[in-house]
A and B are shown apart, each in its own frame.
Chain A
Amino acid sequence: MILQSPLALLLLLLIPVLILLHAIRTRRRDATVSSLLLWQQALKETGRRFHLKRILRNLSLLLQIAATVLLATALAQPAVLRDNPEQRNLVLIVDTSASMKSREGSRTRMEAAKGIILQALGELGEGSRVLLIESRARPVLRSPFTSDRRALRERIMNLEATDEPGSMRDAFLMALSLAEAERRDEVWIATDGAFDPFEEIALAGRDVRLLETGGAGGNVAVTRFQFRSLPVRSREYEILVEVSNLSEDPTEAPLRLTIDGRPYLEDSVSLAPMEDRILIYPYRGLLAETAVAELDVRDPLPTDDRAYAVLSASRGIRILLLSPGNPFLEAALSVYPNARVDRALADRDYGDYDLVVFDRIRPPPLVSGNYLLVAAGAGGLPVREIGVLENPSIVSWDRSHPVLQSLTLTDVEIRSAVEVDVEEGGQILIQGRGSPLMIAHESGRLRTLYLAFDPLQSDLPLKTAFPVLIGNIVQWFAPGGITSAARQVQAGSPYAVNPRGFKFDVRRPDGTTETVAPPSSPYLYENTDTVGIYTAVGSEMEESFAVNLVDRKESDIRPRFQIEAARPAEAPEETDTAKSRRPFAFVFLLLCLAILLAEGVHWLRR
Chain B
Amino acid sequence: MDEKLFDAQFLRKLEYLKIVSRRLHRGERRGDHETYRRGTSLEFADYRSYQSGDDFRYIDWNIYSRLDRLLVKLFTAEEDLTLQILLDTSRSMSFGNPPKSDYARRIAAALGYIALANLDRVGVVTFNSDLGDQLPAHRSRRHIFALFDYLSRVRCEGETGFNRSLASFSLRAGRGGRERAAAPAAGGPTVGPGGASTGAAAGAPAVVVVISDLLDENGFEEGLKALLYRSKDVVLIQVLDVDEIDPRLGGAYRLIDSENGAVKRVTVDSAILEIYRRKVDDFFRGIEDFCLTHGIEYLRTNNQVPVEDLVLKYLRQGMHLH
Q: A: which residues have CB within 8 A of B? A: 26-43, 45-46, 50, 53-54, 57
Contact = CB atoms under 8 A, between A and B. Distances in A.
Contacts of B279: 38, 41-42, 45
A35 B283 CA distance: 13
B252 A27 contact: yes
Interface in B255-299: 255-259, 262, 264-267, 269, 271-272, 275-276, 278-280, 282-283
B252 A29 contact: yes
Contacts of A43: 264, 266, 272
Given A28-B265, A54-B267, A38 B280 contact: yes
Given A28-B265, A43-B266, A33 B258 contact: yes
B215 A34 contact: yes
Contacts of B262: 36
B2 interface: no
Q: Which 4 A-B pairs rank lowest in CB-CB distance, beginning with the nearest?
A: A34-B95, A35-B215, A34-B92, A28-B252
Contacts, number: 95
Pick the most buried of B251, B275, B278: most chain A CB atoms within 10 A of its CB: B275
Contacts of A57: 269
Given A33-B257, A38-B283, A50 B252 contact: no
Contacts of B267: 26, 28, 54
A53 B271 contact: yes
B47 interface: no
Given A31-B249, A50-B271, A54-B271, A39 B254 contact: no
Contacts of B256: 30-33
A577 B69 CA distance: 117
A433 to B, nearest CB: 75
Contacts of B132: none
Contact of A35 (B258, B265, B271): B258
Contacts of B32: none
Pick the most buried of A42, A50, A53: most chain B CB atoms within 10 A of its CB: A42
B69 to A, nearest CB: 56
Interface of A is mostly: mixed
A526 to B, nearest CB: 74
A294 to B, nearest CB: 97
Nearest to A27: B252
B7 interface: no
A38 B276 contact: yes
Contacts of B249: 31
Contacts of A27: 252
A36 B253 contact: no
B269 A54 contact: yes
Pick the most buried of A33, A41, A50, A54: most chain B CB atoms within 10 A of its CB: A33
A457 to B, nearest CB: 89
B96 A29 contact: no
Contacts of A54: 267, 269, 271-272
B54 interface: no
A395 B259 CA distance: 89
Contacts of B213: 34-35
Interface residues on B, range: 35 or more
Contacts of B276: 38-39, 42
Given A33-B256, A37-B217, A39-B264, 15 more contacts: A28-B267, A30-B253, A30-B254, A30-B256, A32-B95, A34-B213, A34-B215, A34-B241, A36-B264, A37-B215, A38-B215, A39-B255, A42-B278, A46-B272, A54-B271
B15 interface: no
29 contacts: A28-B253, A29-B251, A30-B254, A31-B249, A31-B255, A31-B256, A33-B244, A33-B255, A33-B258, A34-B95, A34-B100, A35-B244, A36-B257, A36-B264, A37-B215, A38-B276, A38-B283, A39-B276, A40-B264, A41-B279, A41-B282, A42-B272, A42-B276, A43-B272, A45-B279, A46-B271, A54-B267, A54-B272, A57-B269
A171 to B, nearest CB: 66
Contact of A50 (B255, B258, B272): B272
A39 B217 CA distance: 11
Contact of B92 (A29, A30, A35): A35
Nearest to B270: A57
Nearest to B159: A35
A437 to B, nearest CB: 78
A35 B266 CA distance: 14
B253 A29 contact: yes
A239 B246 CA distance: 114
A22 to B, nearest CB: 11
Pick the most buried of B215, B255, B262: most chain A CB atoms within 10 A of its CB: B255
A496 to B, nearest CB: 80
B240 to A, nearest CB: 8
A40 B263 CA distance: 10
Nearest to A45: B275
B286 to A, nearest CB: 11
Nearest to B271: A50
Contact of B252 (A26, A35, A53): A26
B216 interface: yes
B89 to A, nearest CB: 13
A32 B95 CA distance: 9
A38 B258 CA distance: 13
Nearest to B266: A43
A506 B214 CA distance: 112
Nearest to B245: A38
Contacts of B265: 28
Given A28-B265, A54-B271, A36 B255 contact: yes
A469 to B, nearest CB: 85
Contacts of B264: 36, 39-40, 43
A41 B264 CA distance: 12
A45 to B, nearest CB: 5
Contacts of A31: 249, 253-256
A59 to B, nearest CB: 13
A388 to B, nearest CB: 82
A429 B272 CA distance: 83
Contacts of A46: 271-272, 275
A283 to B, nearest CB: 102
Contacts of A36: 255, 257, 262, 264
Contacts of B100: 34
Interface in B217-266: 217, 241, 244, 247, 249, 251-259, 262, 264-266
Nearest to A23: B267
B266 A39 contact: yes
